[in-house]
Amino acid sequence: MDRGSNRTVLLALLSVLLISGCQGGNILGVFTSLSPSHLIIHMSMAKVLAENGHNVTVITALKPVVNHKDITVVQVPMSEEDHKHMSATIAQFASQDNSNMVITMFRSMGQMKFMMDKMRDIMKDQRVKDLYENKDNKFDLVMLGYFLNTYQLGIAHKLKAPVVVAASMPPNEIFNTVVGNPSVASFVPAMNMAVERGQIMTFVQRVQNFLTNIAMKVFFAILENYNANSYKEVYGDDPTMPPFEEICKNVSLAFFSSHALSEGPIRPNVPAVIEVGGIQIKDKPNPLPKQLAEFLSNADNSAILLSLGSNVKSSHLKSDTNNKIFHVLSKLKQRIIWKWEDLDNTPGKSDNILYSKWLPQDDILAHPNITLFITHAGKGGITEAQYHGKPMLALPIFGDQPSNALRMVKDGFGLSLSLLTLEEQPFKESLTELLENPQYTHKVKTFSALYRDRPMSARESVLYWSEYVMRHHGAPHLQSPLMQMNFIASNNLDVFALLVTVLIVFIYISKFVLTVVIKKLKGKPKNTDKLKKH
């Protein structure tokens, strides 16, 4: 190679570097949710951006499980005392009946406020303030992990950067407001309404749905009021900050962890709703740790994964319940991987059971020898099992889990039992049904094919739309008109009022004219008589 071509190569390399350097944006992820499963979703989005050459900084409370070497994590950890409080609350939830979503929602208000207080403290931390007080920092995009923290949108205003929202749930009454997505109670069932595919709600269900939507709106309004106070507390000292209501109207678009095309419900979404359900699932699973890989490759009669998620520890359950689960599982011919934290203190030893503290759930579910997933029915776990086409036995605990389980059963992907009242016999029968009747696997595999069939993968969507917002410095042109309308206008109540008034006036006038005409026709002589007498 001569010097000329050497130089060309160098120049080419340099321009590639320069171009990628220009394209790489500075992105701030604000992921303060105290729920590990939310953080997995949020970090999976940040990871896609980091993998594609963006400089990503994230603020978290928890230590992220999903991470990337180029992501700068600013962790503002909770105190030991707060961790204890959270754990105690979860244990309490695990011991009560949470099957009614609306009642559970209001009962969890105290816990919500506790979490909101902790999230607010993070925003007041100097490490977070430094990000906007240091004038050298320049961010092209803020991604806000959205869960009852609307006031945190204030940081995007501080940084003069456009903002997108990352929600770990499907669009619903609570999340719709962030991008002005319409709420349609007549045919879009709320989370807790399991309506079979292709069926419409009955009259009773519509009444129930309508009331649930109102309850969710009230719940949300109470927490938004709380958020308004947090906004004052965090940003109140800065007179240049716009009012809270204005801050709420500046979201460019929202990523939701759902895929309505396959999962339903069929509903209208505004263009600012970008569905990226399954974002946490790897296109190709990572190799399993040696111990797990060996355990599964020698599973002559297939294997089961049991995990009750990241919030609930096995110690939160009654030891009696754990023993019943152990008795049944230890007698199966299948091998079982059981997520269990305290390895010195297990419900019992059995050759077919492997306890493990931490599990790469997505990679395990991808393994061909796993034929059943026993789950607490968190949205993340259900999504992964659906993606990998594995039937489920749900043992829901709280939050959206009972509703997720209900839907999963309606979809025919498995069965659900109450963890609170779990007995050996029904547990064993459910397992036998799921392991021996192929219909569940068939249904969930059919769904899996539908779920994966998309014009753009979840990762591609996150990358494309995040870069879109950066390219255009925000997306006000995508904004739903509902963001600027009040309750009366958005429900056309003023139009109805006008029409009803016109109708009433018309009826009145018609009646008046009619009486006059009738009187004229029938009683003209009588009337004139009367008049003459006076």
Ligand X SMILES: *[C@@H]1O[C@H](CO)[C@@H](O)[C@H](O)[C@H]1NC(C)=O
Asked if the bond preceding 265 is cis, omega within 30° of 0, the reply is yes
One residue of 35, 44, 57, 213 binding ligand X per CB under 6 A: 57
15 binds ligand X (CB under 6 A): no
Distance CA 83, CA 354 (A): 28
* Minimum distance, C-beta of residue 478 to ligand X, in the bound complex (Å): 11
474 binds ligand X (CB under 6 A): yes
- For every residue of 301-351, which 3-state class applies, written as one string? CCEEEEECCCCCCHHHCCHHHHHHHHHHHHCCCCEEEEECCCCCCCCCCCC
H or E, element range at 386:
helix 379-388
Which residue in this structure is represented by tokens 């999504």? 383
One residue of 236, 271, 348, 368 binding ligand X per CB under 6 A: 368
Other beta carbons within 10 angstroms of residue 440's beta carbon come to 24
* Minimum distance, C-beta of residue 257 to ligand X, in the bound complex (Å): 24
Nearer to ligand X, 311 or 371 (CB): 371
One residue of 79, 96, 298, 484 binding ligand X per CB under 6 A: 298
Long-range contacts of 420-425 (CB under 8 A, 24+ apart): 420/95, 420/96, 420/97, 422/321, 422/324, 422/325, 422/395, 423/324, 424/324, 424/327, 424/328
Nearer to ligand X, 145 or 474 (CB): 474
- Among the listed ranges 1-9, 292-300, 322-330, 401-409, the one in contact with ligand X (CB under 6 A) is 292-300
Contact 30, 59 (CB under 8 A): yes
One residue of 38, 42, 120, 157 binding ligand X per CB under 6 A: 157
CA angle 261, 65, 289 (to 5 degrees): 95
242 binds ligand X (CB under 6 A): yes
CA angle 217, 220, 223 (to 5 degrees): 155
Token pair belonging to 23: 């394209």
H or E, element range at 528:
helix 493-533
CA distances from 78 to 73, 117, 118, 122 (A): 15, 11, 8, 9
243 binds ligand X (CB under 6 A): no
Nearer to ligand X, 285 or 412 (CB): 285
One residue of 29, 162, 171, 265 binding ligand X per CB under 6 A: 162
One residue of 296, 394, 422, 470 binding ligand X per CB under 6 A: 296
Nearer to ligand X, 295 or 427 (CB): 295
Nearer to ligand X, 160 or 524 (CB): 160
315 binds ligand X (CB under 6 A): no
The residue count of the chain comes to 534
- Burial of residue 215 (CB within 10 Å: 0-12, 13-18, 19+) is middle
* Minimum distance, C-beta of residue 21 to ligand X, in the bound complex (Å): 8
* Minimum distance, C-beta of residue 282 to ligand X, in the bound complex (Å): 16
Q: Which of residues 72-91 bind ligand X (CB under 6 A)?
A: 72
Q: What is the pattern of x (binds ligand X, CB under 6 A) and - over residues 19-38? A: -------x------------
- Among the listed ranges 32-40, 120-128, 239-247, 346-354, the one in contact with ligand X (CB under 6 A) is 239-247
* Minimum distance, C-beta of residue 275 to ligand X, in the bound complex (Å): 22
Residues near ligand X, by CB under 6 A: 26, 55, 57, 72, 137, 157, 160, 162, 242, 246-247, 250, 296-300, 368-369, 473-474
